[in-house]
Amino acid sequence: MTSIDKLDIFNINAQLTEDERIVQESVGRWVDEQVLPIIGEAFDDHVFPMSLIPEMAELGLFGSTIQGYDCAGLNYTSYGLICQELERGDSGLRSFASVQSSLCMFPIDAFGSEEQKQRWLPEMAKGKAIGCFGLTESHAGSDPASMKTNARKDGDDWILNGSKMWITNGSIADLAIVWAQTDDGIQGFIVEKDMPGFDTELIKRKMSLRASVTSALFFDDVRVPEANRLPKVKGLRGPLSCLSNARYGISWGPIGAAQACLKEVLDYTEDRILFNRSLNENQIIQQRLSDMSRRITTAQLMALHLGRLKDNNEIHPVQISMAKWNNVRMALDIARDCRDMLGGAGITVEHVAIRHMLNLESVITYEGTETVHQLVVGRELTGKSAF
């Protein structure tokens, strides 16, 4: 009888192509060697490890599904595996890659002019230009249509006013993909960091995603050339398609966080002696570990099938909503349970569970809250909107 991988009970690895396996193994090895030794301290110090950006670029992790423009041209299952391995390191690291790839490079590739693609995509693929995505506002999170940021035409330029909130990469970004109300509907603009009137403010004192840059963006009569408007999309379809792309990756990412927590607690309960026997000899511990494994396996199967649907261009946004909802909830519950099983040791960043638990409190909120995704599924089932 062949042995079973404790973190891959259903042998998902055997369902991957050779190329997909190579991607997962190379990113996983890099996470083990370069991320895990430093990420706890980065989280503790509330800093994003900028030194990792060139290495991520060298691995081809930015815009990995884009064809051409110095991008890797991988399939979406490979992108999901990248997200899974990055989040096994830290949600902040996966968030950085998600924003760069799905929320910034994707709209330039999908909705930008050839000049915009040539200018930005190769530099972003190399990690030499960092992007952020300006959609959410302080009063308009789950309801982006109510945004107040606006752009008005002025000759050959646009004058942009307003603000955005909770923006990953905001204070380190070279460009922002900003969505604004215009007389012709919501449109997207590439706002460059040195444009007069554009400012950012770092959001501090976070207890989640501490190894990630989160900012507010401010636009005070920012003059944006027509050449910086994304010409191929108008309305909410633009930003929502970006979010669907990012949510797809998030459906994979938390699996890595859950695996990291389970691996740690498997080792801990083996070594921890309580009442003269190892902790994992107790029925209640084995029951809890088994339930974690069941939930991770369910999420793995869902993510893999979602990847195959996306690679075949058969995916539906409702499927992404269900997977994001299920898989993030799975990982958050497992991180909390692992933190509890570690006892007092579980509250320090010497162990991974508390860090993943706190990060996942953000992941379950951003890119559509859990409730929003539940209502998306509910609307599909009933044909009635409860928003």
* Residues designated catalytic: 367
How many other β-carbons are positioned within 10 Å of the β-carbon of residue 387?
A: 9
Q: How far is CA 99 from CA 82, 196, 242, 245, in A?
A: 14, 24, 10, 10
The CA distance from 313 to 316, in Å, is 9
Burial 234-256 (b: 16+ CB within 10 A, else e): eebebbebbbbbbbbbbbbbbbb
Amino acid at 354: I
Q: How far is CA 285 from CA 5, 97, 262, 265, 334, in A?
A: 19, 35, 12, 10, 13
Query: What is the C-alpha end-to-end distance of the chain, expressed in Å?
Result: 52
The CA distance from 221 to 160, in Å, is 5
The CA distance from 175 to 192, in Å, is 4
